[in-house]
A = this chain, B = another copy of it.
Amino acid sequence: MPLDLTASSVDLTRQLCDIESVSGNETLLADEIERALAPLSHLEVIRDGDTIVARTGLGRDRRVVIAGHIDTVPLNGNLPTRFETIETDAPAQAPGEYLWGRGTVDMKAGVAVQLKLAAELVEPAIDVTWMWYDHEEVSAELNGLGRLARHRPALFAGDFAILGEPTNSIVEGGCNGNMRIEVRTFGLRSHSARAWIGDNAIHKAAPILDTLVGYTPREVEVEGLVYREGLNAVGISGGIAGNIIPDECMVHINYRFAPDRSAAEALEHLRELFGEYDITVVDEAEGARPGLDAPLAQEFLAAVGGEARPKYGWTDVARFSALGMPAVNYGPGDPLKAHADDERVPLAQIRDCEAGLRAWLTAARRN
């Protein structure tokens, strides 16, 4: 059944979720989105792989990019979606009406709101470039938004960007940076019956863990938002066999750093902490300053209402930030439920997000 963009944003969320689109398998959903948009004469539709771009060309002197990814993490028995009512306070779950299932939070509810408004708002107060992209949940080099920026950089012209990642429909500004390093210790193998001939690399990793345990993460205010950092071992491995003294141990460390630090500064900090060991950088992503002092950001905040919060997780807002465009996260769903087996989005948040975005796109100062 083709997508019905005139349905409610709740119903449209359900339609989108029930078309499975685990990363790498987005083609069917991209086809459906493209087909649903094709008849809409107020939008220019462009496709790159499984990324669909739709833009208005009203000649407004300001343009916003509003984006969302259409892929999800793998299923775990959580499709098709279903509606649920939570009657009493479950742990960390407010009572109310929910849509349960993979993608409801991360982030097809956000995409549904965007698609509905893209179809309906024929003459928004600001020109809009809508982007729905593939491969967000996998390695960065596959990311559809990154690919689009390489293939069609001109599409990224704009004054402000909104990413529909789940934020409980509250504006979250910027994002922490993300760095992962592997810290290695080396020793000398020997038979464990004569351990004194060898040199135990796992034992040598003890001070690395001690440093992590004793570390106090910073809380840093950047442009009015307080970003909380994190420094954690996310993996550890070592050992060859039960009777061999290991000659290598690796601690995989993840540093989430506030956007007052560049990735280079973050690495410098890690070298201060672990400089005596062998360090390999396996992933690095700059953070994004919130950019909430930009005029469009201020108008957006005023229209949506409420205060902005910092975004702790890294999101693609950093890609816009790197292009010099202020960017915020704004979408339905609790980010703590993203990727969870009991992923579920409150229906009220879908409606709130739609209302907020609609208010801004229709009421913003026309030019």
Contacts and interface: CB of A to CB of B under 8 A. Distances in A.
A235 B228 contact: no
Interface in A234-285: 234-246, 249, 251-252, 254, 256, 282-283
A90 interface: no
B282 A242 contact: yes
Given A209-B205, A209-B209, A213-B206, A312 B245 contact: no
A246 B252 CA distance: 11
A233 interface: yes
21 contacts: A192-B230, A192-B234, A193-B312, A193-B313, A196-B228, A200-B212, A202-B232, A202-B233, A202-B234, A203-B213, A206-B212, A206-B213, A209-B209, A210-B210, A233-B239, A234-B242, A234-B244, A234-B246, A235-B246, A236-B237, A242-B252
A180 interface: yes
Contacts of A191: 313, 335-336, 338-339
Given A191-B335, A194-B230, A232-B245, 5 more contacts: A178-B243, A202-B232, A203-B233, A206-B212, A234-B244
Interface string A207-233: 001101100010000000000101011
The oligomer's copy count stands at: 2
Contact of A195 (B192, B232, B240, B249): B232
A176 interface: yes
B233 A246 contact: yes
A283 B251 CA distance: 26
Nearest to A235: B239
Contacts of A339: 191
Interface in A31-61: none
